[in-house]
Structure 1
Amino acid sequence: MFRKFRILILLLVLATVGLGAWRSNSRLTAWEHTIHVAIYPIAGDDSPATASYIRGLNNESFLEIAQWMQQQTEKQGLAILQPVALRVAPPLAETPPLRPNQPSALDAMLWSLKLRRWASQHDQIDGPKPHVRLFVLFHDPARNPSMPHSTGLSKGQIGVIHAYASRQQRRQNAVVITHEMLHTFGATDKYDLATLQPIYPQGYAEPGRDPRLPQEMAEIMGGRIPLDEQNAEIPTSLADTLIGWQTAQEIGFLRSTGKNGQN
């Protein structure tokens, strides 16, 4: 009986939080004003190289993301002067609660609430209050050849992102950060979770290309550049990516679309 009551209370809390998140997301994706995005650097390991890399980060370190968003809005004919402004907060010493592996629905809901509470306690940054908060854990590539899975939540506009503490991989980091940032705006993944292959047509940058494969660019939420039916490569920078028609619709760039994204 107590468990059922606990679940009921949790569902009521989630419904209230969900309504607030929907309202917040609707305001963001109207694209009438600049969206302020805060990046909170966190050391994902105890490597001196990671600590040194984080100390060197500033607003200019992520300018590429803001410029890319400007280009994408211009392609869609949106008349907003600065769609996204990114600012870097002082490094955080504490890591956020990480998403459990293969969580149940209840575990996922509890983690989401715990993360939002944690984020509200660690969001100090100068300037305008951020609409989106991205907590980026940097890892020394010499110690971590692969990264844990990153997460972006449209409910609460929060991202927990894993990136490399390496100047050589700065542009690849920008792709991952942008992908998760777009999740906070409501964009969905467009790749097969089992194979990581982009899903046709929504996960292709140029679904109408003839021949279809190989593609030359990646749809940002498709995650990879399709080369053939079984293989795709990770884009090296945002210059190799774009926002496809379905993602554009999800984040408010397009108000309505017909077949294959045609207005």
Structure 2
Amino acid sequence: MWRALRISVLLLVLATVALGTWRAQHRATSWVNTLHVTIYPINADGREATARHIAQLSARDFEPIADWLGAEARRYGVTTLKPVAITLAPPRTSLPPQAPRQPTAWQAIVWSLQMRYWAWRHDDAPGPRPDVRMFVQYHDPAVQSTVQHSVGLEKGLIGLANVFASRADHGSSLMVIAHEMLHTVGATDKYDPATLMPRFPQGYAEPDRRPATPQSQAEVMAGRIPLSPEHAAIPVSLRYVTVGPATAAEIGWLRAP
């Protein structure tokens, strides 16, 4: 009897959590209300230069993401006055669990649970609880030329972005953050993971252009501007980034691509 009662309680708790997750996801992708996003900066390498860069950041530095997404949403007929609002939390002093490289399905599940638990423990930003939490790890470009792959979790509405602690790289960092943020609301990657080249046609901002390359913009979930069939460039600003129809459909801006 006690065993059956414990199982019933556990199932009730799981059902409550699942319902809460579904409600949060549905609210985030309905675009009826403003999607509230909080940025949590993290000094990923512990360097002084990285700490100085983070100390100089303000919420205004991330407003271009909200402005860009608002303009893109209006192109698809979204009538919400302010589709996205972004706030900046104080820097985190703890590092999140690092995502494994090329994980198995089981490793991905375990890391996702670890990340969601870590985010719950370190979500002490002032103000109302955000819809989406973006943990942004900054790295000093003077000591490393590449950063680990960024990740966005639809379950839990959590993003982990790895970017450079540099004003020169700020524009491309905003694109990385926007890319991972859209993952949390249902967008999928539109590039070849082996080559990082945008997939045609969904990963092209202008798939009907002839010849197809060079393109002048990047599709946000492809992350690069195709310059030739073999080469692509990372955009230096969100001005050179767009939301394609397939992505718009995935995040609820269109019924179908």
Secondary structure class of the residue paired with 1:60: helix
- The alignment's TM-score, normalised by the length of structure 1, stands at 0.89
Matched with 1:79 is 79
Which whole-Å CA distance do the structure 1 matches of 2:50 and 2:17 have between them? 35
Kindly state the Cα deviation for residue 236 of structure 1 after the two structures are TM-superposed: 1.0
Is the CA contact (8 Å cut-off) linking 1:18 and 1:155 kept in structure 2? no
CA–CA distance in structure 1, aligned partners of residues 138 and 217 of structure 2? 26
Q: TM-score, normalised to structure 2's length?
A: 0.91
Q: Which amino acid aligns with 1:97?
A: P
Q: Secondary structure at the match of 2:21?
A: helix
Checking the alignment, whether the CA contact within 8 Å between 1:54 and 1:165 is kept in structure 2 is: yes
What is the CA RMSD across the aligned residues, in angstroms?
A: 2.0
User: 1:89 aligned to 2:89?
Assistant: yes
8 Å CA contact retained: 1:38, 1:87: yes
Q: Secondary structure at the match of 2:182?
A: helix
Partner of 1:67: 67
Aligned-partner residue type, residue 204 of structure 2: Y
Structure 2 unaligned spans of 5+: 1-11
Q: What are the residue-to-residue correspondences of 1:91-130 with 2, within 5 Å?
A: 91-130=91-130
Match of 2:154 in 1: 154
Which residue in 1 is equivalent to 2:240?
240
- Unpaired runs of at least 5, structure 1: 1-11
Partner letter of residue 66 of structure 2?
A
Quote how far apart the aligned CAs of 1:181 are. 0.4
Deviation at 1:183, TM superposition (A): 0.3
Label 1:14 to 1:161 Cα distance change in 2 as closer, same or farther (>3 A): farther
Identical pairs, percent: 51
Equivalent position of 1:5 in the other structure: none
Please report how far the alpha carbon of residue 48 of structure 1 lies from its aligned counterpart in structure 2 after TM superposition. Answer: 0.9
Equivalent residue, structure 2, for 1:33: 33
What's the CA shift string for 1:198-244, capped at 9, x where partnerless? 11111110111122211111100011111121111111111001000
SS at match of 1:137: strand
Q: CA deviation at 1:14?
A: 8.5
Describe the SS at the equivalent of 1:87. strand
- Distance in 1 between residues matched to 2:173 and 2:17, nearest whole Å: 30
The CA deviation at 1:104 is 2.1
Aligned residues between the structures? 248
Q: CA deviation at 1:182?
A: 0.4
